[in-house]
Amino acid sequence: MCIHDSFPFLFFEMCIFITMNHNKIIEQLANNADVFSRQLVHKLAEEYTYKPNKDKWCMLEVICHLVDEEREDFRARIQSVLENPKNQLPGFNPVEWVSSRKYIEQDFAAKLAEFEDERRKSIA
């Protein structure tokens, strides 16, 4: 079972979301995306494909993961909780996505831009 499917984690996320100032959350999410962009935009292929060992993810795989999480987890789950709070959230396996979605074969610059776009959609 994925931790995202557990009720205590969902309850914790909902409490944070409801109790925090939503404008501050949006500001922090936007700032986070800007930090990623500034830090990663000029990376070389040997930097963004480097893995300290075969079981670790490289920067390219992390960025691909962030794109998928932003679109298919973060935004989808918030929408689901707000629109259908009684429905069970769908499960997924983001670790499996690394190979099934061929993260290592993706274009780093395109994925970084896609993350920025998905984040803008999330905070719109």
- Residue 52, by phi and psi: left (phi above 0), alpha (psi -120 to 50) or beta? alpha
Give the domain range for residue 38: 3-123
pLDDT by position in tens, the chain (length 124): 444 444 445 555 555 555 557 777 778 877 777 787 888 888 999 999 999 998 999 999 999 999 999 888 888 888 888 888 788 877 788 889 999 999 999 999 999 999 999 999 988 8
CA distance 64 to 69: 9
CA distance 112 to 48: 11
Task: Confirm if 92 and 2 have CB atoms less than 8 A apart.
Answer: yes
User: What pLDDT does residue 64 have?
Assistant: 96
Which CATH number is 54's domain given? 1.20.120.450
Q: Quote the number of domains for the chain.
A: 1
User: What pLDDT does residue 57 have?
Assistant: 95
Query: What is the helix (H) or strand (E) element at residue 52, kind and residue range?
Result: none
Global pTM reads 0.75
In the block, residue with structure tokens 């700032």: 31
